[in-house]
Amino acid sequence: MRDVARPMIAFLLTFAALTFAPLALIVCFFLLSQFWSFRFGPYAFWAALGAFIICVQAARMLLKYADNLLITPDDPNAPVAPRDEYSHDWREYSEQIGRYKRWAYYRRTRQFDKLAALEQEERELATKAKARARNGSATGSPVVAARPVESRSPAVSRRPPERPS
């Protein structure tokens, strides 16, 4: 039952937060306009705006609480990636995204020679990462040399895919 209750409560909190903000707008500016003008006089608009901001912050807190319900540090079922699968170095991360995009491009345009070179580069990087992990270094060197971006012109040689015989 607990596995179903937490996501359901988080869903209800999210729904409440998303409906609370528009309702707060209606209540603060339309329904309570006479109260604000009676209570604060010429500063009624600023009082209504302040109340609306407080309501929006309350909705944000509801959303944050709903997120915390879904994933908590003590939850054994929380989806946590192993340390080897993610990098805290933004340079490595952006290079990895670039390699994924190049791989997709080479695959789509059938540039199999460049695809093989890219896969060889992936294997070399994987062996370097394993060596770093054995040495205890969490991140690589702080300076990463920039590589030139390959040409994306369609005039590059295209080789048909190899068929198994």
Neighbours of 14 (CB within 10 A): 18
In this prediction the pTM is 0.43
What DSSP designation does 112 have? H
- The whole-angstrom separation of Cα 110 and Cα 38 is 73
CA distances from 50 to 31, 34, 36 (A): 15, 16, 11
pLDDT, tens digit (0-9, with 9 covering 90-100), for 14-40: 898 889 888 888 888 888 888 888 888
Q: For the chain, which residues make up each domain, given as ranges?
A: 2-70, 87-135
CB 115 within 8 A of CB 165: no
For residue range 99-151, list pLDDT tens digits in order.
Answer: 888 888 888 888 888 888 888 888 888 888 788 777 765 554 444 444 444 54
- Can you read off the two tokens belonging to residue 94? 């952006």
**Cα–Cα distances in Å, from 152 out to 41, 42, 117, 118?**
65, 63, 16, 15
The tokens describing 1, both together, are: 């039952």
Tokens read off for 28: 């603060």
Instruction: Give SS3 for 89.
Output: coil
Place of tokens 């991360």: 93
Give me the phi and psi of 41, to 5 degrees please: 60, -125
How many of the other CB atoms lie within 10 Å of CB of 80? 12
pLDDT at 13 over 80: yes
